[in-house]
């Protein structure tokens, strides 16, 4: 009987959420309106069409269907307006209409995109909780990302995202990707195709609402040879792939608060590394190749970790810091 009641609840929740798009006034076809309305021109370089923005004096559906934005370089929008996505809970797939609303050919110069959650996410979570009589949690899976050749910076932080699709590779000119504070368990292999990427943020901070649990990174991460910053704070990483050593231009690697037992020997190939943060990990020893990091200026780690004698090669560290590390060196 309990299973039967739960099934009925899940069916009711799925029915409610599948109708969410219609309840919020979304239209399937704008073609008839487009044929009868002359397009307007927005002349600014910045635009906020998110539900929390103050620029949206007209419904967002009208703005992004009937207005051209030839000069907009910085855009803020709601996630479900920009990319195709579904809602998912641990006990049910709660699909809304996957269609995205923004027509990206109306934004020929967009370089920076920040995405936010609108009120529907909390509304769906609250309704699901009331239907199931328990809060099982609610997450977002992005199912498709369109090709936006001009995009250089994408901020997807703190959006309860549990999955990124392989189509992330469509953003081939991306230089900054912020996925911090989400609920990711893995990264797609195609992230290695973002070969222009310079800054990748996956960690947590004081403003984070979630915590990625990656455990490991795809081998393709080593293809990001232009990467300068990689922040993996609190991602529950248990290991790093050997390909991490291919990131020859990496200047900052933050591994604070992970579950790493050891580091790959290839860590020593990161010859341009200036900051390495290994605090609050499960490391016992550091490989000898650490001595190859001759440009390292900031080396943060717990004082119980055993260091190899090659640490003395790190001449760019402050003399006082080298003196502190001397106590951890095992000759």
Query: Do 1 and 145 have their domain in common?
Result: yes
Please write the tens of the pLDDT for every residue from 196-244. Answer: 999 999 999 777 778 999 999 999 999 999 999 999 999 999 999 999 9
Closest CA to 158 of 194, 124, 190, 205: 205
Is there a contact between 160 and 180 (Cβ–Cβ < 8 Å)? no
Of 94, 129, 151, the domain-final residue: 151
Q: Kindly give the residue spans of alpha helices, DSSP state H, lying in the chain.
A: 2-18, 20-23, 31-36, 60-66, 79-82, 120-132, 319-326
pLDDT 10s digits, 169-202: 999 999 999 999 999 999 999 999 999 999 999 9
**Residue 16, domain member (yes or no):** yes
Neighbours of 284 (CB within 10 A): 10
Asked if residue 189 and residue 142 are part of one domain, the reply reads no
Answer whether residue 27 shows pLDDT above 90. no
Boundary (domain end) residue, out of 151, 171, 203 = 151
Of 130, 151, 172, at which residue does a domain stop? 151
Rounded distance between C-alpha atoms, residue 322 and residue 324, angstroms: 5
pLDDT (tens digit, 9 = 90+) per residue, 264-282? 999 999 999 999 999 999 9
Whether 60 and 193 map to the same domain: the answer is no
How many domains, in total, are found in the chain? 2
188 lies in the same domain as 147? no
299 lies in a domain? yes
Same domain, 145 and 250: no
User: Residue 8 belongs to what domain range?
Assistant: 1-151
The tens digit of pLDDT for each residue in 59-84 reads 677 777 778 999 999 999 999 899 99
**For residue 38, what is the DSSP state?**
P
Pairing type for strands 139-144 and 84-89 reads antiparallel
Q: What angle do CA 307, 220, 116 make, to 5 degrees?
A: 100
Asked if 116 and 262 sit in the same domain, the reply is: no
Q: Mind listing the pLDDT tens digit for each residue in 136-169?
A: 788 999 999 999 999 999 999 999 999 999 999 9
Tens of pLDDT, residues 130-143: 777 667 788 999 99
Res. 325 pLDDT band, cuts 50 70 90: very high
Rounded distance, CA 126 to CA 132, Å?
10
Whether residue 141 is found in the same domain as residue 192: no
């Amino acid at each position: 009987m309990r299973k039967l009641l739960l099934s009925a609840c899940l069916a009711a929740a799925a029915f409610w959420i599948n109708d969410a798009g219609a309840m919020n006034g979304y239209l399937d076809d704008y073609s008839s309106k487009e044929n009868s309305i002359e397009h307007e021109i927005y002349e600014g370089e910045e635009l906020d069409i998110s539900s929390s923005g103050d620029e949206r004096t007209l419904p967002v559906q009208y703005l992004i269907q009937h207005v051209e934005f030839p000069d907009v370089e910085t855009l803020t929008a709601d996630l479900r307006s920009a990319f195709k996505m579904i809602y998912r809970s641990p006990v049910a797939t709660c699909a809304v209409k996957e269609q995205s609303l923004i027509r990206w050919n109306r934004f020929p110069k967009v370089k920076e995109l920040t995405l936010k959650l609108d009120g529907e996410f909390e509304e769906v979570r609250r309704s699901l909780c009331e239907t199931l009589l328990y809060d099982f949690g609610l997450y977002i899976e992005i199912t498709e990302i369109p090709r936006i050749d001009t995009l250089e910076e994408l901020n997807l932080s703190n959006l309860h995202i549990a999955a990124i699709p392989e189509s992330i590779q469509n953003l081939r000119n991306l230089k900054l990707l912020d996925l911090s504070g989400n609920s990711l368990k893995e990264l797609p292999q195609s992230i290695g195709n973002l070969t222009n990427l310079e800054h990748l943020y996956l960690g947590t901070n004081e403003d984070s609402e979630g915590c990625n649990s990656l455990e490991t990174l795809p081998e393709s991460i080593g293809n990001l040879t232009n990467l300068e910053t990689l922040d993996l704070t609190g991602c529950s990483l248990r290991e790093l792939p050997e390909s991490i050593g291919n990131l020859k231009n990496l200047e900052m690697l933050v591994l604070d608060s992970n579950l790493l037992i050891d580091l790959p020997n290839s860590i020593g190939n990161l010859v341009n590394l200036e900051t390495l943060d290994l605090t609050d990990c499960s490391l016992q020893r550091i490989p000898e190749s650490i001595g190859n990091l001759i440009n390292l200026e900031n080396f943060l780690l717990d004082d119980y970790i055993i260091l190899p004698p090659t640490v003395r090669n790190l001449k760019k560290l402050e003399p006082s810091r080298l003196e502190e590390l001397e106590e951890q060196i095992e000759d």
